Structure 1
Amino acid sequence: MSKKDQSLSVEKQQEIMQKYDPESSVRELTGLLAKVVFFILLAFSIYQLYTTTIHPLPAQIHRSVHVGFGLVLIFLLFPASQKNRIKGKIAWYDVVLAVLGFCVGAYWPLFYEQIIMRAGDMSTLDFYIGILAVTLVLEATRRAVGLPITIIAALFLVYAYWGRQMPGFLIHRGVNLDSLVQSMFFTTEGILGTPIAVSSTFIFLFLLFGSFLVKTGVGQYFNDLAVTLAGKRTGGPAKVAIFSSALQGTISGSSVANVVTSGSFTIPMMKRLGYRREFAGGVEAAASTGGQLMPPIMGAAAFLMIEFIGIDYWSIAKAAAIPALLYFTGVWIMTHFEAKRTGLSGLSDAEMPNRKEVFKKIYLLLPIVAIVFYLSSGLSVMRAAIYGILTTILVGLMREEKFRKIYPIVFGVVAVGMGIYGSITGGFSVTTSLVSATIVTILVSYLFDGNFKDTIDALVDGARTALGVVAATAAAGIIVGVVTKTGLGLKLANSLVSLANGEILLTLFFTMLAAIILGMGSPTTANYIITSTIAAPALILLGIADLPAHMFVFYFGIVADITPPVALAAFAASGVASSEPIRTGVNAAKLAIAAFIIPYMFVLEPKLLMIDTTALELIWIVFTAVCGMLAIGAGLIGYWFRQLMWFERIIALAGGLTLIYPGGYSDIIGLSVFAVILGMQFLLKRDTLGVPVERGRKKAES
């Protein structure tokens, strides 16, 4: 079957993205307007690279310009309503809003010294610019991100102003309008606060890194590699989806984008093989959502954790590694059992790509290996991102046959030459030599007719991808600013702990519900900011360390993408699979059951996050957790080595939960139950239990 038959058309993918992902609902511009927007996007990326690497600006100026670029581009690209979207045209009022956005972004650079000298004493112009900034940020967020976070931010502003009228524990003395406007735009605790600071540095650079990865063709290579490694296994296409989506998570910060790009390839394969539509969509939604839990990028929220918790990035990525692997192990196990239960095999030889050709392109994974190396070697996050981008450009150029012989010579000569010079003078480190060799090699390739257009396109695409993040983090800054101004975070934390009567499991449960509800319909960065500000303090009050507490709310904010009734990733998957949305969401949530369990594990046993543990302890914890996942997967699917009777499913579920709960006694009980249920699979014959052998592919299709 051809690739065209196996995957969705680009038009269909775009239609689904626009329906379920507000960040994709952009105007289709042509002619002069398209060129103007193109050059503004390019200028945005060049400005970011220049100010974060060569000439840093004062924080307020840099963040204000970052927001200004975002506002201008959002009003030019995102229509006020999809119903009013006219191809190739921009409404006059959107041009006015874009000009006002430019004024907001330029205000701090133009009047920086005067604002600083006034020391919080606003002028009349300051006041109106501040109100304009808040209004434009809310409208830009509505257009580029969606209503949920916009409504939450607006409600927080209402709460700050009308504090005296609030009921019960929510009451506070209120914040007058002048003070509210001043804190929202003329301090670093509102729109220009920590969220936009992270967006304007770490996140933007890593979005550029992802954009350059896409230009190298690594996205398609992920699919080819996944098919090569997992395609012929039992239920192969489902495992291809898991493998591919886990890799796609390194270059995408959106569950919906993951679902559509990877799912347009994997879901048709799963359906053709015999998987039910809702199950096929559920597999892709669960796997694509899990991509945001997978280091090194983790949906960009890991970079926010750096600022919120105050630890280095590598500690966060290292802590996230084992929970992410357990998550994908759980999804893999359940899809395997479903395939065995319904008698689904893997792909045929004719449907498999040429293994030799696929492995010849293994060099396309070098940028990901490189970024992990850079981050683990002690480099700053921004420098690691820049080096990652340079590595990606170099790898992308290696696709050109005419440059493959030039590269080793140029790179080797420059690297060795600088290395020798540096060892003699002490002026260069090994890293500096390698980076310089990379830059020289790239420049040489461009001089010899290299594909410079791909680099420009990657800069433009990266800036376009960042627009939703700019809006979301600016709006989230409003929320954080109100929480800081009113002390709401501590009040909500105390109320959650009081509601749970100080019981840690109940507090975790209520925090989970809060994180899922607040995360519904919000992008990764926004839902983490909201949940870490409102929900995480409740766990910290009970003595839970910062990292497990923040990872807990981060996980459940992500899980909101596949938790009905508002499950955007599952709904996008249903659009690709032509399935019923709620049932697809239920299947996705069932497959992602690990994501509902693992956070409890690492809060109760932080060793799972590699905190204060030894290698042997970690191996034991992972072993018991995987055994628990096996038992829970068998219980939920109803199949292991044969189909399970109802009482076996209950025993398997109970044993699995006991294994997953950390503790010596629970592990002993769980392993005993695990051994019993495993023994029953072989000792009790299927004929004795009256269980049919397999339903087969025809039954699955029906």
Structure 2
Amino acid sequence: MSDSQGNAASKALSDEELADLVASTDTGARGVSGSIGVLLAAVAFVWSLFQLWIASPLPFLAQSGLGLPVVLNNTETRSIHLAFALFLAFTAFPAPGKPRAGSLMQRLASGLIVGLALILLGLLMAGLLGSEASIGGALAGLVSEPRYFAPALALLLVCLATAEKARDRVPLLDWVLALGGAFCGAYLYLFYAALTGRPGLPTWYDLTIAGIGLVMLLEATRRSLGPPLMIVALVFLAYVFFGNSPVFPEVIQWKGASVERAMSHMYLTTEGVFGVALGVSSSFVFLFVLFGSLLDKGGAGNYFIKLAFALLGHLRGGPAKAAVLASAMTGLISGSSIANVVTTGTFTIPLMRRVGFTPERAGAVEVGSSVNGQIMPPVMGAAAFLMVEYVGISYAEVVKHAFLPAAISYIALLYLVHLEALKQQMQALPKSVVHPLKAQLLRTGIIVSSIFILAGVTYYGLRGIQALVGDVAWLPVVLILGAIYLGLIWLAARDPDLQMDDPDAKVVKLPVAGEVVRTGLYYLLPIVVLVWFLMVELKSPGLSAFWATTLMIVILLTQRPLKAFFRGTGSEIAQQSLQGVGDLVAGMIAGARNMIGIAVATAAAGIIVGTVTLTGIGQVMAEFVEFISGGSLMLILVFTALISLILGMGLPTTANYIVVSSLMAPVVVELGAANGLIVPLIAVHLFVFYYGIMADVTPPVGLASFAAAAVSGGDPIRTGFTAFFYSLRTVILPFLFIFNTDLLLIDVDLTGAILIFIKATIAMLIFAAATQGYFFARSRIWESAVLLLVAFTLFRPGYWLDQVQPPFDAIPAAQVFDAIESKPEEAQIRLRLEGPDFQNFDEIRSLTLAFDIGPPDGGAARLEAATGLALALEDGQLIALDEPLPGAPNEAQWREFDFYGDTPVTVTEVLVPAERLPKEVFYIPALLLLVLVILVQRRRATVPAF
């Protein structure tokens, strides 16, 4: 080990410090023992029970069977969900900063003095910066109604000035904030009948609670997630009140809102804090986080790590490859990239360093694989569940669209690690049992075939049972599942329970794959149940996660005593049963604590969403971004990526996704249509999702990189840059699937999906080789450039075809209907429209829109079905007879035209798909170039490529 490595290693954190790092970012750094600790654990446990109750069919059975009013609506559920989150945020997360000296009264006095000074300074600055009609006028309105904002403002100032950082106890002020936050969070539930009885007419009490509740939420956000999200929310709130100020650019100014309207919109309706994001958190996300927590407590995390090392640890650079596979599997049980890094990294990083990786490279591999765990179906990050509501598709569709890019990304990362091992001529760890190559291939073939056969038997068997017994099919299915579980537990009991090895030991013995597989096959049962309900039965994510979690609860309670029974140690059954109960309770508590930050983040992000719906800033942003980009879709995508990366430096992935998708997703879709490109909404949302995740990698604030550096002892910034370099495949993928939606399996059959997977995987492997500067040997600059060209061509051959043959033909207006009638169903057309602007009748605006033609029909009927426009030929021109009905394609763009003026809206150009060569013809020169590079590099190769 070099001196630099030795010095770096000395900076590595201990296990206790790493656990504290995860706690401070995910579950809360405050550890309280004694009766108070038991009380806080009980609150977290009850939160998990509440979420299981509302997700189950039990409330409906109790209501119908016993007549109990136990079914809660969405608003009531969200309110209780936030109440739990706020209470635990103030009790689990200490105030930031250093412990404050002095008595509570002294700190209160100083807080009030600071508060008074800030108010006076704010009024002075308002007078200096704004006119009477802008900031000054708005502040004057606030001052005239101090009863609405004074309590909240005073509370905010007291929180900032008197909060005491204490990690081993809960200070008195935090108890007050916790109880007050819980009351404000539960306000919509406690007074639901009164609030619905006077919609739009809030009382003084309602508005006061709303103001205090917002402050409580912002302070909880500051504690659990840091200042960035709180600051972003405050900026949007400032825009609500002072949107007409000259401080804001004229293009985004608006008239501003009164306190009553703003508070009512943000807190007393489901448009702001209690909006869709918090609803998804309470309905879907909690159960998936709880499911992952229970899997982890049951031992699945250790099982996945050991299995990855058993399968890949013996290969060249094996620990790094095992880290990639382990992190992909650990993504099932951890929605946090930081927790994933620390969980798998404490074992994988030391072993990676042993075979030759530097601390920074070892940490970067772990970061790249752990962060991508959030994009790997079937259980993705919390933002994926928000797509269900924002895009309006099922979670099964989200999984379908996200699967191929995620799989390609992980395969490319495995290959990238392999190339790194070849460059450094790393050695493999010794394999415990060595089999001949033919035997290994035979075993692999048998395993893969068995998986496919088992999947087919499961699918057709369950379908057959459903067809035979109908509504009571659940009973034989439960009995069969129970029998399978008992069989797998019996199989696991034949071997000792898995124990995590010491990665720093002098001799590391890789586990035997067959032995490891047997010990944890039953962990796959709840995952199979989850996938079955999600992808086959097409149930809601919440209900699917509920049944999977229910099975996991059964496993936690029974796995230990059943193993004791099958091992013949009957005297230990009682003790093992108690340990199982302890595992369940610990998993329920951990799941709730893991949800604190997510629940608070979705609630705080509701402020941003509420601002968008209240002010209309979304449409204004579309015009503003279109102006600064010059209408270029590529520039818009670059801006969106940069915004996601910048915001993601301080915001968690979920909040970042909510903010950027709310503002930018409609803009990208509109500008894509204006440029003649149909960009599916899911593609834009996945684009934002990917770049929000990449913010955990990107320096200078990439939290996952800092966590990996804490494990490896390497430099955090260098680790972050290396991780970003390793993640270039993830950076480029979103741009590729925007312009080639086949990667998202949109309108692609099974055969097409297989071909796309093969082509895209080859292209991504070539891209990885180009960026690594190594293929069969170290690459020269021209060779890397050629590999990049080949990869781009395989990903998007249509680009080169567009340069040779135009994709569309312009047709005269008189021939439009005949030309469209003869086109195939999958074809697209472009229409260029001109007409008077709806806002300024004297201005003529033009717009190009793209449409799918759709099923065969008469030319005129087919065109109207595709566009929503009723068109007629008049004097050689195509005239729009009427405004399209609501729900028509590109409805937002139609609103920009005045269809009822003296000047008609006309179609000035119609473009239909041209007859041209298949785009795949460009694969030929690309593959020839690839063969050329291979032949040249084979002459210089010094080590085998595999």
Answer yes or no: same fold by TM over 0.5.
yes
- Counting only pairs closer than 5 Å after superposition, residues 283-682 of structure 1 correspond to structure 2 as 283-349=365-431, 351-361=509-519, 362-376=521-535, 377-397=537-557, 399-400=559-560, 402=562, 451-541=580-670, 542-543=672-673, 544-663=679-798, 665=801, 668-669=921-922, 672-682=925-935
- Aligned: 1:282 with 2:364: yes
Question: Structure 1 residue 244 and structure 2 residue 326: aligned?
Answer: yes
| More helix per residue | 1
SS of equivalent residue, structure 2 residue 695 = helix
Shift of 1:38: 1.0
- The answer to whether the aligner puts 1:209 opposite 2:214 as a matched pair is no
Aligned position for 1:57: 72
1:125, 1:612 → 2: CA distance?
53
2-side partners of 1:508 and 1:667: how far apart? Answer: 26
Alpha-carbon separation, structure 2, partners of 1:468 and 1:238: 30
For the residue of structure 2 that corresponds to 1:206, the secondary structure is helix
* Count of equivalent residues: 648
Q: TM-score, normalised by structure 1?
A: 0.88
Deviation at 1:686, TM superposition (A): 4.8
The equivalent position to 2:88 in structure 1, one of 62, 73, 77, is 73
Deviating more after overlay: 671-680 vs 287-296: 671-680
Matched residue, 1:148: 228
The aligned amino acid for 1:356 is G
Which segment is superposed worse, 45-54 or 256-265? 45-54
CA distance in 1, matches of 2:40, 2:264: 32
Please, what is the CA RMSD of the aligned residues? 2.5
Structure 2 equivalent of residue 39 of structure 1: 42
Worse-superposed segment, 542-551 or 481-490: 542-551
Match of 1:298, SS? Answer: coil
- Aligned residue for 2:267? 185
Pairwise CA distance, 1:345: 2.5
What amino acid does structure 2 have at the position aligned with 1:588? Answer: A
| CA contact 1:330–1:591 (8 Å) conserved in 2 | no
Amino acid at match of 1:190: G
Residue 16 (structure 2) aligns with: 11
Aligned equivalents of 2:576, 2:769: Cα separation in 1: 59
Quote how far apart the aligned CAs of 1:490 are: 1.9
Is residue 16–residue 575 contact of structure 1 (8 Å, CA) maintained in 2? no
Structure 2 runs not aligned, ≥5 long? 1-11, 60-69, 100-164, 432-507, 567-572, 674-678, 802-918
Q: How does 1:18-37 map to 2 (within 5 A)?
A: 22-37=25-40
Contact 1:153 1:476 in 2 (8 A): yes
Q: 1:310 corresponds to which letter in structure 2?
A: G
Q: Please say if residues 231 and 346 of structure 1, whose CA atoms lie closer than 8 Å, have aligned partners that are also in contact.
A: yes
Q: Comparing both chains, which one has the higher relative contact order based on Cα–Cα distances under 8 Å and sequence gaps of 6 or more?
A: 1
* Secondary structure at the counterpart of residue 143 of structure 1: helix
Identify if the C-alpha distance between structure 1 residues 476 and 197 changes in structure 2 by more than 3 Å, giving closer, same or farther.
same
Aligned equivalents of 1:450, 1:13: Cα separation in 2: 25
TM-score of the superposed pair, with normalisation by structure 2: 0.66
Q: Is the alpha carbon distance of 1:355 and 1:45 closer, same or farther for their aligned partners in structure 2, counting shifts above 3 Å?
A: same
- Give the Cα–Cα distance (whole angstroms) in 1 for the partners of residues 71 and 285 of structure 2: 16
Asked if the contact 2:558–2:577 (Cα under 8 Å) also holds between the matched residues in 1, the reply is: no
Shift of 1:669: 4.3
Q: Which residue of 2 aligns with 1:157?
A: 237
Question: Comparing 525-534 with 620-629, which one deviates more in the overlay?
Answer: 620-629
Alpha-carbon shift at residue 306 of structure 1 (Å): 1.0
Partner of 1:137: 217
The answer on whether the counterparts of 1:64 and 1:108 sit within 8 Å (CA) in structure 2 is yes
| Alpha-carbon distance change, 114 to 685 in structure 1, aligned in 2, over 3 angstroms | closer
Mapped partners of 1:59, 1:661: distance in 2: 44
- Counterpart residue type for residue 464 of structure 1: R
Q: Offset at 1:59?
A: 2.6
1:83 partner SS:
coil
SS of 2:696's partner is helix
141-150 or 237-246, larger mean C-alpha shift: 141-150
Q: Which moved more, 1:74-83 or 1:26-35?
A: 74-83
Q: Distance in 2 between matches of 1:566 and 1:62?
A: 35
Q: Is residue 690–residue 734 contact of structure 2 (8 Å, CA) maintained in 1?
A: yes
Report the more deviating stretch, 543-552 or 445-454: 445-454
Structure 1 position 320, deviation (Å): 0.6
Indicate which of 300, 312, 317 corresponds to 1:230.
Answer: 312
Identity among equivalent pairs (%): 37
C-alpha contact 1:371 1:388 (8 A) present in aligned 2: yes
Between stretches 70-79 and 389-398, larger displacement belongs to 389-398
After TM superposition, give the deviation of residue 74 of structure 1 in Å.
Answer: 0.8
Q: Which residue of structure 2 lines up, in the alignment, with residue 101 of structure 1? A: 181
- 1:271/1:675 CA distance change after superposition, 3 Å: farther
Does the Cα contact within 8 Å between 2:400 and 2:745 map onto a contact in 1? Answer: yes
Per-residue deviation, 1:694: 6.6
C-alpha separation between the residues in 1 aligned to 2:279 and 2:249? 34
Cα 1:593–1:184 change in 2 (3 A) is same
Q: Given residue 338 of structure 2, which amino acid in structure 1 is its aligned partner?
A: V
Give yes or no for the alignment of 1:263 onto 2:345. Answer: yes
Whole-angstrom distance in 2 between the partners of 1:234 and 1:679 = 26
Give the secondary-structure state (helix, strand or coil) at the position aligned to 2:601. Answer: helix
Q: Which moved more, 1:323-332 or 1:52-61?
A: 52-61
Tell me how far apart the structure 2 counterparts of residues 449 and 92 of structure 1 sit (CA, whole Å): 35
Give the structure with higher Rg (CA). 2
What SS does structure 1 have at the residue aligned with 2:98?
Answer: helix
